Chains A and B, each alone.
Chain A
Amino acid sequence: GENVEQHPSTLSVQEGDSAVIKCTYSDSASNYFPWYKQELGKGPQLIIDIRSNVGEKKDQRIAVTLNKTAKHFSLHITETQPEDSAVYFCAASPLRGGYNKLIFGAGTRLAVHP
């Protein structure tokens, strides 16, 4: 079936520390793995994504790693800042019937304390 597990559900760090969020997916047909950030009262916004032919991708303080064999992917945020506080969602996208759809994890509430 289609399932994405995300851990931890809440994460509290001090400003400047690193934060790591991990996800596991079940559908081996998944080939696209985006990460979304949702601030209070707003819609989710893409922050980084990775495709199945890539193992790691970095964009400034944000990096994502993918282990297709283990069906794991992770988000790493370095030098965290208070404005990083939000709910983060991982997603996996299996190709079905010629269309990709997003299966989201349950979300991680990240709190960065000054």
Chain B
Amino acid sequence: DTAVSQTPKYLVTQMGNDKSIKCEQNLGHDTMYWYKQDSKKFLKIMFSYNNKELIINETVPNRFSPKSPDKAHLNLHINSLELGDSAVYFCASSPGTGLETQYFGPGTRLLVL
């Protein structure tokens, strides 16, 4: 059973398009995250939700909008895609908001042409 799953695994699209990435966790965790990993492997947090409430919102363009319909799901919608949005996007989850292990999904590889 996959603990943290993401769809799609690969996403190739044109500049200016709008796309969504979905994430689901079956671990019963209260907190979920979105990270961006660029071409140099640098991993940076974008957003975090705890019990469907936004708790971390880093300096991310407002073209990126996360949505958490319930504790087990955290989706990422991206408007007006730009070349610089090309990256691997990882979803993660943790039991709470403290000093706990974060469990990462397999990643969504986004390529904007």
Contact = CB atoms under 8 A, between A and B. Distances in A.
A99 B56 contact: yes
Interface in B21-66: 40-45, 48, 50, 55-56
Interface string A84-99: 0001010001000111
Contacts of A101: 45, 48, 56
B69 interface: no
8 contacts: A42-B107, A43-B107, A46-B103, A49-B101, A51-B99, A99-B98, A106-B41, A106-B42
Nearest to B102: A102
B23 to A, nearest CB: 11
A26 to B, nearest CB: 15
Contacts of B4: 43
A46 B50 contact: no
A89 B41 CA distance: 10
Contact of A45 (B40, B42, B48, B104): B104
Interface residues of B, number: 24
Contacts of A34: 101-102
Nearest to A52: B99
A106 B45 contact: no
Nearest to B109: A41
A43 B104 contact: yes
Contact of A107 (B41, B100, B105, B106): B41
Given A43-B90, A107-B41, A100 B107 contact: no
B106 A42 contact: yes
A100 B99 contact: yes
Contact of B41 (A32, A49, A87, A98): A87
B109 to A, nearest CB: 9
Contacts of B101: 34, 46, 49
A81 interface: no
B90 A99 contact: no
